[in-house]
């Protein structure tokens, strides 16, 4: 029977089969278009909604922590700046005290001579011996003053000058201690400011990242909702 078919009949049959195949494919495509993408399940929709809400809550918490960290960083940086000013002021005070001590020390180098007196030769000898010991460096100014006070050869002007030197020395020591404390406080506070700024930057980066994740999760959930709504509308039209 097949042998009796001519070429024209065979092409007619093949054309009919191909047309039928294209028709079937077109119908399948139309049905797929009418049905739309696969409708998400309720479980999937609920899961995406829960994930979006959780990420949004996490993002809000991180943003809040980042804001607090930024405020702390600003406060500690302000304290660091105040500590720097305090240290600079302490250095100026120390410099002034050091200069005053230097002036008093130069003034005290003029060694006083015993004033003329009618003391006994022994007293004069003691005064001269004390003066010689002072020049050799065996006696300090305080010790020389004490010897001459006892021997009656101490000058009141020199005593006042020595008291000025003592006060200047004490003031310089006090200024040095104040500067050391100010410098230590500055180092501590500025180090705290650096740590706070690093923490603030890290939390700011985390806040940006979590916020982007929350927005992406929310967008995915909204897309699922729209897809489900389109599916319901198509089914309603049919």
Q: Is 112 exposed, middle or buried (0-12, 13-18, 19+ CB in 10 A)?
A: buried
Q: Is 196 exposed, middle or buried (0-12, 13-18, 19+ CB in 10 A)?
A: buried
The residues spanned by each domain of the chain are 41-108+119-237
Architecture of domain 41-108+119-237: Orthogonal Bundle (1.10)
**Which helix (H) or strand (E) is 120 found in, with range?**
none
Q: Is 30 exposed, middle or buried (0-12, 13-18, 19+ CB in 10 A)?
A: exposed
Per-residue pLDDT of the chain (238 residues; tens, 9 = 90+): 444 445 556 566 566 666 666 666 666 665 555 555 556 667 777 787 888 888 888 888 988 999 999 999 999 999 999 999 999 999 999 999 999 988 888 777 655 555 545 555 656 676 677 777 777 777 777 777 777 666 655 556 666 777 788 888 899 999 999 999 999 999 999 999 999 999 999 999 999 998 888 888 888 878 777 776 665 555 555 5
Sign, CA dihedral 100-106-107-111, equals positive
């Amino acid at each position: 029977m097949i042998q009796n078919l001519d070429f024209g009949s065979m092409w007619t049959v093949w054309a009919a089969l191909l047309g039928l195949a294209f028709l079937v494919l077109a119908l399948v495509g139309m049905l797929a278009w009418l049905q739309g993408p696969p409708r998400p399940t309720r479980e999937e929709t609920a899961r995406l909604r829960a994930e979006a809400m959780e990420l949004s809550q996490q993002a809000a918490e991180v943003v809040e922590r980042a804001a607090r960290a930024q405020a702390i960083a600003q406060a500690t940086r302000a304290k660091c700046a105040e500590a720097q000013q305090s240290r600079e002021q302490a250095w100026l005070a120390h410099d002034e005290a050091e200069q005053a001590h230097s002036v008093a020390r130069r003034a005290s180098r003029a060694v006083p001579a015993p004033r003329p007196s009618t003391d006994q030769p022994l007293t004069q000898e003691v005064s001269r011996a004390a003066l010689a010991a002072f020049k050799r460096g065996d006696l300090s100014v305080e010790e020389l003053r004490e010897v001459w006070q006892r021997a009656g050869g101490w000058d009141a002007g020199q005593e006042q000058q020595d008291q000025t030197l003592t006060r200047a020395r004490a003031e310089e020591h006090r200024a040095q201690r104040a500067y050391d404390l100010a410098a230590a406080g500055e180092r501590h506070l500025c180090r705290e400011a650096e740590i706070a700024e690093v923490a603030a930057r890290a939390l700011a980066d985390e806040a940006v990242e979590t916020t982007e994740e929350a927005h992406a999760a929310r967008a995915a959930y909204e897309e699922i909702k729209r897809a489900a709504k389109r599916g319901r509308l198509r089914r309603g039209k049919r």
